[in-house]
A and B are shown apart, each in its own frame.
Chain A
Amino acid sequence: MPKLLAMRGNEAVAYAAKYARVEVVAAYPITPQTIIVEKIDELISKGEMDAEMIHVESEHSALAATYGAAAGGVRAFTATSSHGLMYMYEVLWWTAGSRIPVVMAVVTRAMGPPWNIHVSHEDILATRDTGWLVSMAENNQEAFDLTLQMFRITEDPRVYLPGIVGLDGFILSHTVEPVELPDQETVDEFLPPRRQPYVMEPGEPKAMGNLVPDEYFEELRMDMQQSMENAVKVIREVGREYAKYFGRDYSELVECYKCSDADYIVAGTGSWMGDAKIAADKLREKGYRVGVMRLRWIRPFPWSDVREAAMSKKAVIVMDRSLSTGHAGPLFLELSSALEAKPSMIGVPAGIGGVDISYEDIERFTEKAIQLVEEHGRVYIPAMWYHLGKIFPTYPSSNVKLD
């Protein structure tokens, strides 16, 4: 029987690793991720999880050991945040380029300095170019569900790329929510034994990552791009299968809330999109038809879903908990590109470094954006910063004057 328990997001992820029968976990602690690997350690020492825990001296080694174990043929897992993720950045490329399926949780957190342990998306969004699949959870149940699915997706022969499950630091990682845990037997039916393109083992010597002619290198990258395209299909299939086994459907890469009749779309990713839905309802009471488009997947980028949901709208307001300093929020850039900036586009960097953003804040800046569109017609504002209740127009400048 599935059971409903109250747990923090970090524990939900740890349980997903247990249900996936992960055999090797290599870890180095970093706030706010630490509870994930602590919980796994606890499950191992209680005998509830049959896995090897490797305590390493750094995050670079944490992912290197996880990747090594996975290349050796076992299901392997690790988790990190912020500075830890940056420290393992090189190994992200090694893992993806080697086509070795690995699953990692990234608990989103700001990059210092100054020191800050709170939520920001600058860490996870820095993985966009590495060849990893990247997903973002809205709540603890989704953190569990995406982790479990990520094993099946990454180990699909059409994909064979590693995958990251993102969950927001503290807002999900340390907040207790009800999470439904399935039966192990059902998980075993859903998740087939591990598959991978090759196994590094004695007896069949091979060299991985050797020097190759440049044109081979480029062809390998082309293959990864093709696999990302395949991954869109695989994510839909696995999400549909997940609904059959566990009753929750993940066949959509983008979650649309009241989008169909909306004039204005609030877009973004992560836990604060729940608040955005409340803000949309409040704005609808005021007579603005607002919908919410939540990106559950960042890589592969849900290009066609985004275009279908938002191309014909009056405006798209992009909430970015991160900034590509010197331009705009990464999600704003991605969405402007996918939508060919046909709707009015307003990028709102906000909540960076864990600054609290309530549904009232979202309501406020969305209303401001709507008013600009109503006043000026088509607007393009890359970075309309929202900070402590005020709008700060910042570089790069928009096509309308903001006060």
Chain B
Amino acid sequence: MAVSESEQRRGVVAVIEPGGHKLPLSMAGPGAMGKTGYWRTQRPVVNYERCTGCYLCWLYCPDNVIEMVPGKGPRGQDIPVIDYDYCKGCGVCAAVCPVKAIDMVDESKFLAKEKEEGDGNA
């Protein structure tokens, strides 16, 4: 099923045309609404010393922005890496973490720092 270029309008991929028809379909894909990380007011930060690699944050993340990287933790455990381009900072990962390895940190601290470094993406 091909999504024609002309139908990929900003925001959504909703109109797909096999056989010349417009259909009420959208295909899974990252960031149809643009980079949504800037919606965040709190940023989840993982303490890898504490993390046991249990995958619960990965499982619960409602936006599917946590990737588990096998064997990269300080004790050789699998660790979660968060994609801050799309993480909206909902805090579900921090809430479900059984060892309190994820802290929700005020986003403005990072913004100020990024501004200083001239690396802001907001």
Docked pose: A216 CA to B9 CA in angstroms = 10
Q: Which residues of the other chain, B, contact A34 by a CB distance below 8 angstroms? A: none
Binds B, one of A133-141, A204-212, A358-366: A204-212
Q: Quick check: B18 and A198 within 8 Å, CB to CB?
A: yes
Q: Is the CB of B24 within 8 A of A208?
A: yes
Dominant secondary structure of chain B at its interface with chain A: mixed
Q: List 6 A-B contacts (CB under 8 A).
A: A160-B19, A198-B1, A206-B27, A210-B12, A210-B14, A220-B22
Q: Which residue of chain A has the shortest Cβ distance to B16 in the bound complex?
A: A198
Out of A206, A208, A210, A219, name the residue touching B22 (CB < 8 Å).
A219
Residue B25 CB within 8 A of the other chain: yes
- Answer yes or no: A223 CB below 8 A from chain B CBs: yes
**A230, closest chain B residue (CB):** B20
What's the Cα separation between A34 and B25 when bound, in Å?
35
CB proximity to B under 8 Å, residues A215-231: 216, 219-220, 223, 227
Complex contacts, A212 vs chain B, CB 8 Å: 12, 14-15, 24
> In the complex, what distance in Å separates the CA atom of A97 from the CA atom of B25?
11
Closest chain-A Cβ to B98's Cβ sits at a distance in Å of 30
- Decide if B23 touches A198 in the complex (CB within 8 Å): yes
Over the window 98-117 of chain A, the binary record of Cβ atoms lying under 8 Å from chain B Cβ atoms (1 yes, 0 no) is: 11000000000000000000
> Known contacts A198-B1, A207-B28: does B23 contact A99 (CB below 8 Å)?
yes
CB pair B26 A206 closer than 8 Å: yes
> With the chains together, A111 CA to B28 CA distance in Å?
43
Question: Given A219-B15, A220-B15, A208 and B25 touching (CB < 8 A)?
Answer: yes
Q: Whole-angstrom distance between the alpha carbons of A197 and B25 in the complex?
A: 11
Q: How far is the CA of A209 from the CA of B23 in the complex (A)?
A: 9
B21 near A213 (CB under 8 angstroms)? no
Say whether A197 contacts B28, CB under 8 Å: no
Question: Is A178 positioned at the interface, with any CB of B under 8 Å from its CB?
Answer: no
Interface residue A72 (Cβ < 8 Å from any Cβ of B): no
Cβ-defined partner of A207 (8 Å) among B11, B15, B21, B26: B26
- Given the complex of chains A and B, what is the CA–CA distance between A212 and B1 in angstroms? 19
| Residues A216 and B25 in contact, CB atoms below 8 Å apart | no
- Tell me if A157 is interfacial: C-beta within 8 Å of chain B: yes
Minimum Cβ distance to chain B for residue A291 (Å): 39
Q: Which of A157, A158, A197 contacts B23 (CB 8 A)?
A: A197
B19 contacts which chain A residues (CB < 8 A)? 157-158, 160, 197
Query: In the complex, A204→B26 CA distance in Å?
Result: 11
A204–B1 CA distance with the chains assembled, in angstroms: 10
User: Within the assembled complex, what's the spacing in Å between the Cα atoms of A157 and B19?
Assistant: 6
Q: Inside 8 A of B22's CB, which chain A residues have their CB?
A: 216, 219-220, 223
In the complex, are the beta carbons of B24 and A205 less than 8 A apart? Answer: no
- Determine the chain A residues whose CB is within 8 A of the CB of B11 once the complex forms: 213
Closest approach, in angstroms, between the C-beta of A217 and any C-beta of chain B? 8
Contact (Cβ within 8 A) A97 B21: no
A373 to B14, CA, bound (A): 54
> A residues 227-256 with Cβ under 8 Å of B?
227
Evaluate contact between A210 and B24: CB separation under 8 angstroms. yes
If A213-B11, A216-B14 touch, whether A197 touches B21 (CB-CB below 8 Å) is: yes
Q: How far is the CB of A347 from chain B (nearest CB, A)?
A: 37
Cα A337 to Cα B101 with chains together (Å):
71
Interface pair B21/A227, CB less than 8 Å apart: yes
- A198–B26 alpha-carbon span in the complex (Å): 12
Docked complex Cα distance between A69 and B67 (Å): 34
User: Bound state CA distance, A98 and B26, in angstroms?
Assistant: 12
Q: Residue A205 contacts which of B20, B21, B23, B28 (CB distance < 8 angstroms)?
A: B28
Which residues of chain A are near B24, meaning CB under 8 Å? 97-99, 208-210, 212, 220
Decide: A207 and B25 in contact? CB cutoff 8 A: yes
